[in-house]
Structure 1
Amino acid sequence: MDANVADLPRKRLPQERLLELLFGGEDLPGLRLRVTQCAALAGLDEPRLGDFVLAVHEVACNAVEHGGGRGRLLLHHHDGALRCRVTDDGPGFTEEVIPPDPPGILSGEGGRGLWLTRQLTDRLEIAAGAVGAVVTLVIALR
């Protein structure tokens, strides 16, 4: 974790929006940093903080790669958990694309990022939007 984030005061926030942004591929490093900062300020500690940020990054990368080159992210605190919703303008998909077992690295099988995301978060929700996919990741603040 960035030393500056570790030094920031932590507080539990009521139900509120923490971060909302549009992003493309060039924005992914900054997105990762901003999610880290917001989640840490909301009270998410390591190692769950790193897990959550990696999971959000995987979903954001999928939005860029498969969802039209850009996406929208909304991170908010709700009922003792962080919820991050990522939407895109791609063709959409269902949970069936996530393999039940860890995908082999050499098999060429897709779904590794989503499989990992499911392992790192408390809940992963996938829905079709009016256009594209809506992926919501949830992790409890403990």
Structure 2
Amino acid sequence: MTARTISAPEEGELLLETHFCAADLARVRIQVDLHTSRTTPLSEPRRAQFVLAVHEVMCNAVRHGGGGGTVRLFRSADSLCCRVDDKGPGFDENVIPRALPPVDAPGGHGLWLVRELADRMDIARCAVGASITFAMCFDAA
């Protein structure tokens, strides 16, 4: 993961805010893809990586975060940000493996992948649940 300074998501334009549960994952993934293709200068490969990362964080919220949550997409001057809030028990960043987990490992692949794809990833414990925010910088011109 490349260390870069990226604007906080609250400093940008809100592109999408929606609640989700397991039954909504495909719908929200399509919405994220549409919003990012219409409103951001991410290249096709970076956009696909962003959509995959959003999907992985949402799946984590469904499995471990109380069955769903809220996803918000923000666009700042230099990046596209996603924040997913859930109502689960919360967790610490140290549960995400530093190296790719073995294929037969029971978990850890999704958030590991998000951390690898994103330019920044932050995890915060909230009073109830967790908040995962990640961002991808727009491609250099």
Q: What is the aligned partner in structure 2 of residue 47 from structure 1?
A: 45
TM-score (norm 2): 0.87
Unpaired stretches in structure 2, ≥5 consecutive residues:
1-10
Distance in structure 2 (CA, Å) of the matches to 1:60 and 1:126: 14
Residue 84 (1) aligns with residue 68 (2)? no
- Aligned residue number for residue 23 of structure 1: 20
Find out whether 1:139 has 2:136 as its counterpart. yes
1:68 pairs with one of 58, 66, 69? 66
Any idea what SS the aligned residue of 1:47 has?
helix
Work out the CA distance in 2 between the residues paired with 1:124 and 1:15: 17
Which position in structure 1 is the counterpart of 2:3?
none
- Cα distance in 2 for partners of 1:135, 1:65 equals 14
Amino acid at match of 1:15: G
- Whether 1:126 aligns to 2:123 is yes
Q: Which amino acid aligns with 1:27?
A: D
The correspondence for 2:112, drawn from 115, 118, 133, is 115
Secondary structure of 1:119's partner?
A: helix
Q: CA deviation at 1:128?
A: 0.6
Q: CA deviation at 1:107?
A: 3.4
**What is the letter of the counterpart of residue 112 of structure 1?**
H
* Distance in structure 1 (CA, Å) of the matches to 2:72 and 2:33: 14
Aligned-partner residue type, residue 36 of structure 1: D
SS at match of 1:131: coil
Q: CA deviation at 1:79?
A: 3.0
Please report the RMSD computed on the Cα atoms of aligned residues, expressed in angstroms: 1.3
TM-score normalised over the length of structure 1: 0.86
Q: Which amino acid aligns with 2:51?
A: V
Q: What is the count of residue pairs matched by the alignment?
A: 128
Distance 1:70 1:92 in 2: 13
Runs of 4+ in 1 over 6 A off after TM superposition: none
Task: Give the whole-Å Cα distance in 2 for the aligned partners of 1:130 and 1:43.
Answer: 35
Instruction: State the secondary structure of the residue aligned to 1:33.
Output: helix
